[in-house]
Structure 1
Amino acid sequence: MRNLPLLLLCLLLQACTQTQKGLGETFKLAVLGEDDIQLTNQQIAKIPYASMYLRLNGGQQIFVVMGFSEDGQQKWITQDHATVVTQSGRLVKTLGLTDNLNEVTNLQQDPLRDALRLTDGAGWTRVMSWTEKGQLRTGTAVSHFTRLKDEVLQLGGRQVASRVWQEEVELTESGKTWRNTFWVDTSSGQVRQAVQMLGADYFPVATTILKPAKP
């Protein structure tokens, strides 16, 4: 654990005020090395901002704070100025990564928008656009959801009862298949943890929401 960067982060956070929708400055934990970041429950409790752990493409787990929220989308900024955008817990856009998710359509029909009403077999179709090793890819993705065994997540010293949903996805043009997994808070309906692909069976992105954004 790198105490100095954590202390600096906490001091910065305590010195600033969050606006109504999380607008304003972005705070992030800048850490050298390759070790995963793991905050203590006490450190998490002192941070009054929406925050999460983020792991990109199997790399280091980092800690990021939400920088901006608008139109139902949360924008998270990494220490090297990349941007990850989520909506209803789903990855919908990235900027500044080695490869990026450019667009996801039909978000208004995403079953995660009302996750507590998700049912086995629920489906969703959208068009995805992303880059893969620098090459632009576009395709129609068709999903079906299956409920797995419920789990209890330990997040910041709190137990969060969660429904676990597995999303089976197929790209119609190529036949590629992959799975996304979402942990939905049984009380709020918010996605608190997710493992999902940026592209078609390509570039996993793992998120764990320590403190969710305020509605």
Structure 2
Amino acid sequence: MLKPLLISLGLFLAGCSQQFQDVNSTFDEAFFGSSDVELSKEYIQTLPYSSIYAEVNDQGKIFMVLAYVGENPQTGAEQLKWMSSDKAMIVTENGRIVQTLLLPYENLSGLAFQPLDSFSFANSSSPDSSSAFDVSGRSGAQKWQAVYDWQPNYRIGYKANITRTYAGNETVETPLASIDTKKFQEKINFPMLEQEMTNEYWVDGKGKVVKTIQYLGPNMTRLELTVLKHYQSN
């Protein structure tokens, strides 16, 4: 079930907030070389929306707001749907990108987790818990599998073996706060493609992702997300 958070989202994106339109320009412009979006702390705090910065291939930050909250029908995980002023969308589950729409190069059309069939049970993790981060500092490597789908060209059903490891403590600076985090790295290997990639997550003491660098696929779009204002469920 999808729950709209912005009742007047259409008006908001269409011009209700001219300042939002001005700083974001058009989505494509920011991807193809315009200067970074830099919003003031006061402006971000004043907006009554959860929000993130998204940076694509190091080509400038985009300001995105939380448009909808949904639920993964397979796992029950909470899905947050972030939208730009040009209606491009990034869908996340605790910071993990599981779908994108209207990005300029390629899009992740689906990401599904599944039980392991090639790793030992001792090192395995449930697909349902793949979005959860153990911030106790006591966990070892976690392993599971996933299936990736991409557009264009209907690239469907690419299985990946994923290994997550703890990579130390770091402080993340956002426009609103300085946050102590634990850093995690995920090595993602695609046997069919004989390629791999590494995604990174910075997680606060409550287990929430505050910053992440992820690739939609091997040799594909790089996305860096920084959470400005977290969504607080009722």
The TM-score normalised by the length of structure 2 is: 0.75
Identity %: 25
Match runs of 1:1-215 below 5 Å: 22-26=5-9, 27=12, 29-30=20-21, 31-32=24-25, 34-71=34-71, 72-98=78-104, 99-106=106-113, 108-116=127-135, 119-131=139-151, 134-138=152-156, 139-186=158-205, 188-215=206-233
Letter in 2 for 1:137: R
RMSD: 2.2
Letter in 2 for 1:43: Y
The structure-2 alpha-carbon separation of the partners of 1:153 and 1:21, relative to structure 1 and needing over 3 Å to count, comes to farther
TM superposition shift of 1:153? 1.4
The CA deviation string for residues 36-75 of structure 1, in whole angstroms up to 9 with x for no partner, is 0122222222223210001123322111111111221111
Gaps of 5+ in 2: 14-19, 72-77, 115-126
- Aligned 8 A contact 1:106 1:125 in 2: yes
Quick one: distance in 1 between partners of 2:133 and 2:50? 20
Runs of 4+ more than 6 Å apart: none
Gaps of 5+ in 1: 1-19
- Aligned 8 A contact 1:25 1:67 in 2: no
The structure-2 alpha-carbon separation of the partners of 1:22 and 1:117, relative to structure 1 and needing over 3 Å to count, comes to farther
Quick one: distance in 2 between partners of 1:160 and 1:21? 29
Q: How many residues align?
A: 193
Q: Secondary structure at the match of 1:39?
A: coil
Greater mean alpha carbon deviation, residues 192-201 or residues 39-48: 39-48
Letter in 1 for 2:60: Q
